[in-house]
Amino acid sequence: MLEALLFSTVSMATPILLAALGELIVERSGVLNIGIEGAMLTGAFFALAAAFFMHSLFLGLLCGVMAGVAINALLAVMVVNLAVNQVVAGTALDILALGVTGVFYRRLFGVTGRAFTIVPLPRIGLGPLARIPIVGPALFNRDALVYLAMILVPIVGWFIRRTRMGLKLRAAGERPEAADALGLNVFALRWGALLASGVLSGLAGAYLTLSYADTFVEGISAGRGFVALAVVILGRWNAWGLLAASLLFGAAMSLQFALQALGTAIPYQLFLALPYALTVMVLAGVGGDARPPSALGEPYSRN
């Protein structure tokens, strides 16, 4: 029971962590990416569609990444170049992604999509580590995307805190006017951050269909993009904090399935609401104390 719960926790945490790492990069540049849910959803659909029709998981991953990048490129045009309100633009893209994936899904596979399944990404066991009781299967016998998510945590943390490019990115998110005066291209930095986030959000969506579910259903992202936003706040804009927060939300999502399996008389809808109730409680509890980048959510234009 404990081994299955831990395995499920890591599975649930992986897409949230991938998306949250991308959101961390974006928010450090000063952009609030509400469209992360849409990028995950489009990545999930086009990853599975490409893998299904082209019989290649690699091409599926590539198409999932391209879909996530395309959504974020649209967002970059609106919020970086046109200085559109970031919340409104991101919400519009979330709605667009829901409509586009729904239309293509029904057009290609009908309402039920019964044949829309694939063989999932293979697991890669890490020798003796995979045979460690309880933690071995959950951590060391996973597919490549789980390993990638874990490896990216120290890499993203190092990039933001220890590199010159990370310093420039933080400057764009804290004082864009001062960064511009020093010769930094704030627009290019925010564009680059959004494209990087598109890659990670596309991979997060691809994980949902190529590894976790092996199929696609409408709205498969199920609010995970918004949970990723909460994870960035709970993790205090720190990569290691994001890992801990992602595992917390992953455990909540896993617990809802475990509680449903017990067959209690409590309505199952209450269990389904558990992760999202936790999101609200976390934001209410720590949201006011968290210190975001100073220019987060504020459009920038040269005078």
Residue 47 CB partners (closer than 8 Å, separation 6+): 60, 61, 63, 64, 67, 202, 205, 206, 209, 210
Region 2-118+137-286: CATH code = 1.10.3470.10
SS3 at position 117: strand
Give residue limits of the domains in the chain.
2-118+137-286
* E-state strands within the chain: 124-125, 141-142
pTM for this structure?
0.93
Per-residue DSSP letters for 32-75? Answer: --TTHHHHHHHHHHHHHHHHHHH--HHHHHHHHHHHHHHHHHHH
Nearest alpha-carbon partner for 205 in 184, 186, 220 = 220
What is the residue type of 89? A
pLDDT tens, per residue, the chain with 303 residues: 788 889 999 999 999 999 999 999 999 999 999 999 999 999 999 999 999 999 999 999 999 999 999 999 999 999 999 999 999 999 999 999 999 999 999 888 877 666 678 999 999 999 899 989 888 989 999 999 999 999 999 999 999 999 999 999 999 999 999 999 999 999 999 999 999 999 999 999 999 999 999 999 889 998 899 999 989 988 999 999 999 999 988 988 888 777 666 666 666 667 667 777 777 777 676 655 668 899 998 888 876
